[in-house]
Amino acid sequence: MSTLICHQEKLNESNIQALVDICPFGALEHKNGTLEITAGCKMCKLCVKKGPQGVMEFIEDAATTVDKDSWKGIGVYVDHVEGEIHPVTLELIGKAKELASVVNFPVYCVFIGYNIKDKAQELLHYGVDEVFVYDYEELKHFRIEPYTAAFEDFIQRIKPSSLLVGATTIGRSLAPRVAARFRTGLTADCTTLEMKENTDLVQIRPAFGGNIMAQIICPNTRPQMATVRYKVMNAPEKQCEPNGKIALCQLDPQQLVSSINVLKVTHKQIEENISDAEVIIAVGRALKSEKDMAMIVELAQLLGAQIAGTRPLVEAGWINAKQQIGLSGRTVKPKLIITLGISGAVQFTAGMNSSEQIFAINIDPLASIFNIAHYGIIGDLYEVVPQLIEDIKGSKLLACAR
């Protein structure tokens, strides 16, 4: 870890003030003839480069190295609820197989839970080389300590080069704990993953509010870890015959101890999830009032679609937060999405640009949404949508008459 130090013996009244003035973050404070570096320091090194010579020094520690040849394979954490495997797991298996083919690695799964041995067989139909199963009654409910212990045992046993975890409630809780235990990097909510021939995993995700796409690598640590949202990657085709093997893993009883006691489990009511929708009508800030949602609802009913939108509509209370698409909302991959009055900022498009067909309606011919749309209409949604509704009704009447 790099360090910024101040040689206090070289300070005097003039250069202290010069250093205080030069720091753009106000991270240098004058206290009783000494200079203190506060937590506001961003390590920009401006005080070293432009400050009084020799007073401030930046010491960069030698980077740690790792024997990459001893870490092989791509591991996938199996996200599940009471043995029912979350679809994001299958999507991650598909991506893991793609990454593994670049460096000729096997693909592993780590399955942690209770009464899951039979469910593990299902994963072998998707091309996994080996599934490592930790099946204990103490793992029936997700509790962070034993689950982390099982995950840690898997990593120490197999030493996978990369680990993929679904960005679910459980995945977002478990992955950071495991990464901290191995002092390795973790990139959250990746939208793209690529593998270098030297086994470095390129983890790509939007950064700075979606204004740039950051490419992140962990060249000096293993395992490399990334979380990925549901509906971002593509699941592989299910094979008729299973291929691979299952390994039942043992844990020390002390590793299953937790300070958390599960007193009661309440199953939440099943509700529609826009991530699973095949047709979506997405509305943006061009909608002028809440009463105008009526025509959106009518269009959605005609097409058997679910309604979604952007953050301004959530903040206005016109749609539920669970209907928001984008970096701070849900990721969707429907067969058809119709966007109405949405400009196409990356914060929104990052959550839907994998849709099979994107149909955009916007009054601005230069709107960014047209850069990713397969079809587009330049026009006012208040003119286009009513006409679209009439055309759909007309086509349905014609079909009935025939």
Residue 359 pLDDT more than 70? yes
pLDDT exceeds 90 at position 401: no
Task: Give the chain's mean pLDDT.
Answer: 93
Tell which residue, 5, 7, 43, has the closest CA to residue 24: 43
Torsion of the alpha carbons at 178, 180, 181 and 187, rounded to the nearest 10: 40
Span 371-397, average pLDDT: 91
274-401 CATH pick, 3.40.50.300, 3.40.50.11810, 3.40.50.1220, 3.40.640.10: 3.40.50.1220
60 compared with 86, residue with greater pLDDT? 86
Q: What's the confidence (pLDDT) of residue 211? A: 77
| pLDDT of res. 94 | 97
Task: Identify the pLDDT of residue 141.
Answer: 95
The whole-angstrom distance between residue 288's C-alpha and the CA centroid of its chain comes to 32
Is 331 within 8 Å of 232 (Cβ atoms)? Answer: yes
Amino acid at 47: C
In this structure, which topology does domain 3-59 adopt according to CATH?
A: Alpha-Beta Plaits (3.30.70)
- Domain covering 68-256 in this structure, CATH number: 3.40.50.620
Distances (CA, A) of 246 to 105, 220, 249: 18, 31, 10
Domain ranges of the chain: 3-59, 68-256, 274-401
Asked whether the predicted pLDDT for residue 62 surpasses 80, the reply is no
d(CA 116, CA 132): 11
Whether 106 contacts 73, CB under 8 Å: yes
Q: Work out the average pLDDT over 103-127.
A: 96
Q: Which of 344, 374, 331 is nearest to 232 (CA)?
A: 331
Task: Please give the share of the chain, as a percent, with pLDDT higher than 90.
Answer: 82
pTM over 0.75: yes
Q: How confident is the model at residue 210 (pLDDT cuts 50, 70, 90)?
A: confident
- pLDDT at residue 271 is higher than 60: yes
Three-state DSSP class for residue 339: strand
Confidence of residue 384 (pLDDT cuts 50, 70, 90): very high
84-85 and 107-113 strand pairing: unpaired
Backbone phi, psi, residue 228, to 5°:
-135, 135
Tell me whether the CATH fold assigned to 68-256 matches the one assigned to 274-401. Answer: yes
For the chain, helix, strand, coil in percent to 5 are 35, 25, 40
- State the pLDDT confidence band at 397, using cuts at 50, 70 and 90: low
